[in-house]
Structure 1
Amino acid sequence: MRIERLGDLGSAPLVLDLLAAATTRLGLPAPAALIGEWFGSQAIIAPSLQTTEVDADAVFDPTPGGPHPTLGIGGASPIGGGWFGYLSYPDAGADGLGPRIPRAAGGWSDSVLRRDRDGTWWYENLLGAAISPWIVDALQTAPVPRSAVVVWTEADQAAHQRGVLACLEAIAAGEVYQACVCTQFSGRLDGDPIDFFIEAVTRTAPARAAYVAGAWGAVASLSPELFLRRCGEAVTSSPIKGTLPAHADPARLRASVKDVAENIMIVDLVRNDLGRIARTGTVSVRELLAVRPAPGVWHLVSSVSARVAAEMPMTAVLDATFPPASVTGTPKTRARELLTGWEPRRRGVYCGTVGLASPVAGCELNVAIRTVEFTTDRTATLGVGGGITADSVPAREWDECLHKATPIIGHATVGPQSRARRTAS
C-alpha cells in the first residue's frame, strides 16, 4: 500500500468540488464520496469511480479485514481503496412498479483521498501506485461556482395518513408492534447531482453522507444513521428511532413514552437480526437511548454490537440484517409485507444502504434515509417517514416527515416551488 501526506487541502465538500470539476473537464467518471463520520475519518473520496449496475447479491463483496496494526496514521487506519456503492430497499410499493434506477450499483477504486480527524488529507493506494497528475492539478485549481436547483412538488399527505391509520389498525389487531410508514417528494433537477450533494452536505453536515453516480443516475445520501460497521469479527449497528424538531427541548425525547418504546422495539429487532449470525453470547447493547442532533431534528440513537466469524462473507451478514431494522418494523417480515400495500410507490435507494467495503479497513454502510435518488432524466425522489406505534397521532407523524425533509428541500416543504440551490463552491 502507498500512503502519502497531502496536508490541509480544505474541507471535504471543497475537495469533492475540485475533483468533480476536473472529472467533468477531462471526461472521466465522477468521484464517489463518504463525508461525515466514516472509518474514524472525516471523509473518504474516490477521485473518479466507474460504476455499473450489479446484482444485489454482489454488493460490498470484499471480505472486510481488521485494521492493520502497523498502518494506523492520521488518527485512523488507512482505507487504501475498495468497493463504493449502494443497495436499494428491496420491496415494491402498492403501484407494483419496478425500480427507477438499478437496485444496486457501484464500482472499485484502488485509491482514495482521506481526510483524518485533524483535517489532514492523505493519498492512499492499495496497489502502491503514485497519485495521478490530474488529481494533483485538480487540487491546485481554483473552484468555479456552479448551481444545482431542484424544484419540488408536494408529497401526498392523504396517502401517508391512510398508511398511518392502516398501520394503527394492524397494531391494534396484533399483526405488528411497530412499522415505519413513509412518503415521497418528487422534483426536477436543473444542474448536476454532485453539485446538489455538495451544497446540501456543506449546509447540513450529516454524519453519514454519501455520493455515488454513474450512467444510470446518482444517489445523494444525507443520512445521520449507521446501518453496519464491520471490522474483522466485530459488527456494530446504531439504529435511530425517536425524533423531535431541532427547535424543541431534546430532553423531551427521553421522556416520550412513544419515542422510547419505538427505539427499544427496534433495538430488540437489531439484536435478533445480529443474533442470527453472531457467535453465541456476543450480542450486546453498548448504548441505549442516547440523544443526538441531526439536520433539522433530534434523534434517539442506540448501538448494538456482536462478533461474527472473520471468514463470513458480507452477503451472509446482509442476508441476516438487510433491509435495516429501523426502516421496516417488528415483526420484520410482516411489517414489510404490509408496507408494500400502505405505501403507494417503491422506496428505491431510500431505506437501503450506501457505503464502502475495503479489504484493509472493513465495511461501513449507512441507512439511506434523507437520501435523494436522481434518474438520468433529472427526476429527483426524496423519501421520508417515521416509526408508527400504538401511541402515534397521524397528524404528528406527518409533521415529523416535514421536519426531516425541510433541511433538504427547504422550509416551504409542502409548496410546489420548494427549492434546493447551490450557487457557489
Structure 2
Amino acid sequence: MSYGKSTERMRKIGPYGVETLPQVLVDVPAAPPACRDTLVERTRLHWRRADGGDPALLAEEFLAAHGLDLRDLNRPAAHTPRACGAALYLSAAAGAHLAGVPTTAPEPAPTLPDLAVVIYDHGPTRAPAAPHDAPWWLGPWTESWTPEQHAAAVDAVRAAIGRGDIYQTNLVGHAAAPYTGDPLPALRRLGALPGARYGGVLTGEGWAIGCASPETLIEAHHGQLTTRPIKGTRPATATGHAELLASAKERAEHIMIVDLERNDLARIARTGTVTVDELFAVRRWCDLWQAESTIRAHAADGLGLADLLRATCPGGSVTGAPKLAALTHIAAAEPVGRGASMGALGWVTPGHVDLGLTIRTAAADGDALHTWAGGGITWDSDPTAEVAEAAAKTTPVRATLTGR
C-alpha cells in the first residue's frame, strides 16, 4: 500500500481533534511516567477490518509521517521534537486478520476500532481533575456463554487435540453489564491493581479501554526483542504456589507456548540469537499466581514495526499451538468477538516499542462495560476447572469496576 493510499484512508476514517477528547490526564499503558501529566493529543488514526488493507503497515506509515519513524528498530533513536510518542492499540481480530485467519463472530462492542494510533506531544503541565461525586452504577453481568457452554467448548478443544488438529487452544468468554455515569474513573482504577505492568486507559469517541495487564506481548528496545508469555494460574496462597510449581499439566502447556513464542521471534530475529532467559517464574497478579517466562532475541537488520506486529500478533499465549490452527478453532468456538481483549496496547517511540497483551482488560461503549477472560486448553484440561479459572481471572477486574 502506498503512503498516498494510507493518507486517503486516514482522511476517510478521520482523526479526532483534541477538543473532542474527555478532559482526563493521559494515562496510556507504558507511557513515560514523567510525561503523563503533560501529554496532549496531536492527531490519531482509527482503522476497522471493514476498511481493508494492512493495519500493521498503516500504523507504521502513519507514525513515520508524524515524526515517529519505526521502520528500522535497530536504528538509534533520533531526537524527535515533533512528538513525544504514540499510543498503539491493535485488537485480537486485527491480529487474526494479519495472520490470515479472519474472525466471523459478532463483536459485542462494535464502536471500538481494530487499530488506534494516537500521537502525543507536550503541552503545559496540568493538574489532575478534581474528583466529582457523580453517581456510578454498574448493573448485573450477562455472560456470552453459560458455564455449560464454556465446558462444552473445552471438551470440543480436547476432542480436536485427540484428532491431532491442534496441541492446545485458548478459549475466551465475554460478559457485559449496563452502567450509568462516567466509566472512565472505573476503568482507570484497573491500572492500580497489583501486578498491572500495563495499567492505564485509552479513549476515543464513544469508547474507552481500561487495562490491568501483567503480560508483555512484545518490547523492542535498541534492537533487542523481549516477550514474556504468561501461562499457568493458581490462587495466590502457599498451597497454590506449590501446586503451580508441581503441575505437570501447567508446565507442559507453558513450555509449548514458550516454544511457539521462540518461533515467532525467530522469524524476525538475527539467526541464533533467540534465548530463554527465564523459564516458568511464578509471579503474582492480584489474588493469583501466574507462571511467566522471558524470551529475548536481537532484531534482524531492517526490522520495522509492521513486520514486528505481523510476527507477534495475536499473541501465542492467547491463541494456541499451532497458532493458525488454533485461530481457526477459536473462530468456530467462541460465540462473540474478543473486542479489546487479547490484543496489543502500549507506547511506541523511535527506538522503543512496548506493547502489553490486553488480558485483564475491560472496555466501555455507550451502553455497557465489557470484560473478557479465558485460559489455555490442553488434553489434560478439566472443563469445570477451566470455567472456574476464567472466573478467577475476571473477578478482580469486575470488583474494581464496581468500586470494590
Instruction: Establish whether TM, by shorter chain, passes 0.5.
Output: yes
Q: CA deviation at 1:253?
A: 0.9
**1:110 to 2:121 alignment:** yes
Match of 1:421 in 2: 402
Q: How many residues align?
A: 359
Normalized against structure 1, the TM-score is what? Answer: 0.76
**1:274 to 2:261 alignment:** no
**1:179 to 2:160 alignment:** no
Q: CA deviation at 1:239?
A: 0.2
Match of 1:350 in 2: 341
CA distance in 1, matches of 2:199, 2:347: 12
CA distance in 2, matches of 1:54, 1:29: 23
Match of 1:340 in 2: 331
CA spacing shift, 1:373–1:420, aligned 2, 3 Å = closer
CA distance in 2, matches of 1:349, 1:201: 15
The residue type paired with residue 158 of structure 2 is L
CA spacing shift, 1:307–1:66, aligned 2, 3 Å = closer
CA distance in 2, matches of 1:209, 1:323: 20
The residue type paired with residue 408 of structure 1 is V
Moved more, 212-221 or 279-288: 212-221
**1:220 to 2:210 alignment:** yes
**1:33 to 2:62 alignment:** no
Q: Match for 2:277 among 274, 283, 286?
A: 286
Contact 2:277 2:295 in 1 (8 A): yes
Q: Spell out the pairing of 1:83-162 with structure 2 (5 A cutoff).
A: 83-90=86-93, 91=96, 95-96=105-106, 100=110, 101-111=112-122, 131-132=123-124, 135-136=125-126, 138-139=127-128, 143-146=131-134, 148-155=136-143, 156=145, 157-162=147-152
Two-structure CA RMSD over aligned residues (Å): 3.1
CA distance in 1, matches of 2:135, 2:74: 41
Match of 2:14 in 1: none
Match of 2:293 in 1: 302
CA distance in 2, matches of 1:190, 1:282: 51
The residue type paired with residue 274 of structure 2 is V
CA spacing shift, 1:379–1:143, aligned 2, 3 Å = closer
CA spacing shift, 1:29–1:150, aligned 2, 3 Å = same
Q: Spell out the pairing of 1:361-380 with structure 2 (5 A cutoff).
A: 362-375=352-365, 377-380=366-369
Structure number having the greater strand percentage: 1
Q: CA deviation at 1:34?
A: 3.7
Normalized against structure 2, the TM-score is what? Answer: 0.80
The residue type paired with residue 117 of structure 2 is G
CA spacing shift, 1:308–1:194, aligned 2, 3 Å = same
Q: CA deviation at 1:208?
A: 1.5
The residue type paired with residue 53 of structure 1 is H
CA spacing shift, 1:215–1:268, aligned 2, 3 Å = same
Q: CA deviation at 1:246?
A: 2.3
CA spacing shift, 1:249–1:97, aligned 2, 3 Å = closer
Match of 2:226 in 1: 236
Could you list the per-position Cα deviations for residues 270-310 of structure 1 after superposition, in whole angstroms to 9, with x for gaps in the alignment?
00111111100011101100000012311000011111135
The residue type paired with residue 83 of structure 1 is A
Q: CA deviation at 1:397?
A: 0.2
Match of 1:386 in 2: 375
CA distance in 1, matches of 2:37, 2:359: 20
**1:265 to 2:246 alignment:** no
The residue type paired with residue 420 of structure 1 is L
Structure 1 gap segments, 5+ residues each: 1-22, 72-79, 112-130, 411-418
Contact 1:185 1:381 in 2 (8 A): yes
Structure 2 gap segments, 5+ residues each: 1-17, 49-54, 64-68, 97-101
Match of 1:200 in 2: 190
Match of 1:54 in 2: 47
The residue type paired with residue 107 of structure 1 is V
CA spacing shift, 1:45–1:347, aligned 2, 3 Å = farther
Q: What SS does the corresponding residue of 1:167 show, helix, strand or coil? A: helix
Match of 1:120 in 2: none
Contact 1:59 1:86 in 2 (8 A): no
The residue type paired with residue 59 of structure 2 is V
Q: CA deviation at 1:54?
A: 3.2
Q: CA deviation at 1:191?
A: 2.3
CA distance in 2, matches of 1:28, 1:229: 29
The residue type paired with residue 404 of structure 1 is K
CA spacing shift, 1:86–1:29, aligned 2, 3 Å = farther
Q: CA deviation at 1:210?
A: 2.8
Q: CA deviation at 1:95?
A: 3.9
CA distance in 1, matches of 2:226, 2:216: 9
Moved more, 38-47 or 172-181: 38-47
CA distance in 1, matches of 2:203, 2:375: 27
Could you list the per-position Cα deviations for residues 124-163 of structure 1 after superposition, in whole angstroms to 9, with x for gaps in the alignment?
xxxxxxx42xx34x25x75445554432424222221121
Moved more, 41-50 or 323-332: 41-50
Q: CA deviation at 1:48?
A: 4.0
Q: CA deviation at 1:94?
A: 5.9
Match of 1:169 in 2: 159
Q: Spell out the pairing of 1:392-403 with structure 2 (5 A cutoff).
A: 392-403=381-392
CA distance in 2, matches of 1:309, 1:421: 46
